[in-house]
């Protein structure tokens, strides 16, 4: 299949990228200085390697509502939103008030507080899982979910999808971005560690299957009878653009997992409370055995939660599974989380996300059609992305056929014209309750300018 956009002259994307990189650098001198200083004491000059993306990190000074300002004074409509955390928008008045009130009464005791159960009750209502425990990140949520599944089933093997990211603990740092020379055949992908330092013994406990392929999953389950503790899936893959599940796929996963005595874990760290009040569970109507949450549930503070079936979570009651953490249920996080979930992310907020998504998607489709660009947009309430290919992407290997140069050029175009997207070609946008229609149309206008330049 051709991945070259036909109305676009060969070399045009490279030429425009060079121009935009120069414009980017000329307006980000202070970021560059800070980055150089930081590299003296921080590897790659950033607190998390995800933040070091080409052309260089943009250092942020502050944010308010839908906007953020960098240290050079450039203002942006924030489409990054802290990798999908800030669906409440920046410095939302009621969240600020909740944090201030809690801070004035003490921020940490490592003792339970009354609001723990309020947040758990709201998560139970949304995700249809009766029991919850708190963590401090998505990584901790999937780590605990995997441990719960292994303890409950008495099995050790995990099945994950090729190219899903579930956090940075050893058990799931497998085949996150496997290179083609290592990833093996599509009907039996290899298990490829994502980082040095992950023990081979742990990698060998993970079988990898393609997303949207129940046949390969079934054969994999059959190859490992009575060994698989859980199938873990990001129900909409959101770390290689956005990859939607086929109709019936999530239901099929649950049926197959259960037929083979395994649990189904949804990693809703990105989808939870952003694509629907109840994430993919709500949007697609499939309730798994365990759900992992983080990011947007915390009102902007470090957070995480794992919820599940009463019998599975009962392994904690029975003192079989040790689920612990000094900061679990931190009162400051719980205060922000309670306010975000009960006062900000209301039904009206989701109606607002849908209206913004419609405006964005409609605008982008029109530009793509006017300029005959072989791309397509995907929107799911607060989330969305442009896929730089005409046909739908169904799995990682489809995704690899896309020319990443377009995503990078688009990132530069947006950044240079006041819209900050999450860094990385594989990323998508997250909107907030404080974004207006005019904010999102800025993205469309910038996209049209790029379309015009690409096709001229
Ligand atoms: C789907 C998914 N799961 C888990 C994680 C890990 O979350 P955290 O960065 O909070 O540890 C991420 C992070 O981006 C994610 O996208």
What's the rounded Cα separation, in Å, for the pair 116 and 176? 33
Q: Which residues of 169-183 are buried (b: 16+ CB within 10 A; e: fewer)?
A: bbbbbbbbebeeeeb
Tokens of 33: 């200085």
User: How confident is residue 3, by pLDDT bands cut at 50, 70 and 90?
Assistant: very low
Options 160, 270, 295, 338, the catalytic residue: 295
Q: Is the CB of 268 under 6 A from ligand 1?
A: no
Closest atom of ligand 1 to 142 CA is 4
Torsion angles phi and psi, residue 102, rounded to 5: -70, -45
**Mutate-to-test residue for ligand 1 from 83, 135, 138, 301, highest number of ligand atoms within 8 A of CB:** 138
Residue 7's alpha-carbon distances to 117, 123, 329, 367, in angstroms, are 56, 48, 53, 13
Tell me the per-residue pLDDT of 135-145, one tens digit each, with 9 for 90 and over: 999 999 999 99
What's the rounded Cα separation, in Å, for the pair 297 and 306? 12
DSSP state of 135: E
Tell me the per-residue pLDDT of 149-201, one tens digit each, with 9 for 90 and over: 999 999 999 999 999 999 999 999 999 999 999 999 999 999 999 999 999 99
User: How confident is residue 5, by pLDDT bands cut at 50, 70 and 90?
Assistant: low
- Average model confidence (pLDDT) across the chain: 97
| Nearest CA-CA partner of 371 in 260, 282, 453 | 453
Is 165 an active-site residue? yes
- If you average pLDDT over residues 277-300, what whole number do you get? 98
User: How confident is residue 7, by pLDDT bands cut at 50, 70 and 90?
Assistant: confident
- If you average pLDDT over residues 30-40, what whole number do you get? 98
First-last CA distance in the chain: 24
Task: Please check the confidence at residue 403 and state whether its pLDDT lies above 50.
Answer: yes
| Nearest CA-CA partner of 270 in 441, 375, 142 | 142
Handedness of CA 264, 267, 272, 274 (dihedral sign): negative
Q: Is the CB of 266 under 6 A from ligand 1?
A: no
Closest atom of ligand 1 to 239 CA is 16
- If you average pLDDT over residues 279-295, what whole number do you get? 98
Residue whose token pair is 């801070």: 103
Is 370 an active-site residue? no
- pTM surpassing 0.95? yes
| Nearest CA-CA partner of 241 in 382, 354, 393 | 393
Residue percentage of the chain with pLDDT more than 70: 99
Q: Is the CB of 213 under 6 A from ligand 1?
A: no
Handedness of CA 313, 319, 321, 327 (dihedral sign): positive
Tell me, in angstroms, the distance from the centre of ligand 1 to residue 316's CA.
23
Q: Looking at residue 1, what is its pLDDT?
A: 39
């Amino acid at each position: 299949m051709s991945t070259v956009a036909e109305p676009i002259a060969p070399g045009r994307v490279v030429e425009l990228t060079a121009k935009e990189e120069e414009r980017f650098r000329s307006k980000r001198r202070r970021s560059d200085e800070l980055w150089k200083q930081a590299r003296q004491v921080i590897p790659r000059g950033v607190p998390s390697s995800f933040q070091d993306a080409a052309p260089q990190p943009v250092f942020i000074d502050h944010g308010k509502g839908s906007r953020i300002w960098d240290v050079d004074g450039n203002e942006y409509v924030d489409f990054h939103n802290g990798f999908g955390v800030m669906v409440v928008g920046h410095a939302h008045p009621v969240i600020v008030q909740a944090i201030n009130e809690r801070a004035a009464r003490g921020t940490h005791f490592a003792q339970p507080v009354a609001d723990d159960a309020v947040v758990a009750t709201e998560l139970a209502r949304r995700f249809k899982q009766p029991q919850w425990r708190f963590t401090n990140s998505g990584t901790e949520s999937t780590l605990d979910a995997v441990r719960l599944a292994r303890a409950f089933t008495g099995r050790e093997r995990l099945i994950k999808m090729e190219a899903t990211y579930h956090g940075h603990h050893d058990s799931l740092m497998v085949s996150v971005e496997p290179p083609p020379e290592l990833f093996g055949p599509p009907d039996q992908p290899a298990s490829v560690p994502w980082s040095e330092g992950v023990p081979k013994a742990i990698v060998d406990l993970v079988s990898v299957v393609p997303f949207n392929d129940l046949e390969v999953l079934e054969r994999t389950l059959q190859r490992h009878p009575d060994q698989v503790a859980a199938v873990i899936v990001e129900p909409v893959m959101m770390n290689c653009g956005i990859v939607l599940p086929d109709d019936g796929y999530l239901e099929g996963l649950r049926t197959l997992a259960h037929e083979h005595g395994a649990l189904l874990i949804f990693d809703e760290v990105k989808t939870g409370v952003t694509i629907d009040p109840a994430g993919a569970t709500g949007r697609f109507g499939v309730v798994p055995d365990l759900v992992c949450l983080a990011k947007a549930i915390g009102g902007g503070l470090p957070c995480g939660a794992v919820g599940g079936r009463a019998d599975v979570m009962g392994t904690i009651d029975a003192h079989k599974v040790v689920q612990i953490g000094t900061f679990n249920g931190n009162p400051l996080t719980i205060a922000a989380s309670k306010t975000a979930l009960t006062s900000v992310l209301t039904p009206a907020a989701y109606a607002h996300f849908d209206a913004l998504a419609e405006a964005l998607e409609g605008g982008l489709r029109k530009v793509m059609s006017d300029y005959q660009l072989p791309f397509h947009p995907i929107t799911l309430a607060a989330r969305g992305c442009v896929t730089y290919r005409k046909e739908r992407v169904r799995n990682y290997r489809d995704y690899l056929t896309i020319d990443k140069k377009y995503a990078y050029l688009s990132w530069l175009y947006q950044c240079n014209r006041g819209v900050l997207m999450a860094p990385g070609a594989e990323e998508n946008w997250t909107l907030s309750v404080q974004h207006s229609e005019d904010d999102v149309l800025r993205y469309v206008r910038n996209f049209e300018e790029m379309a015009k330049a690409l096709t001229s």
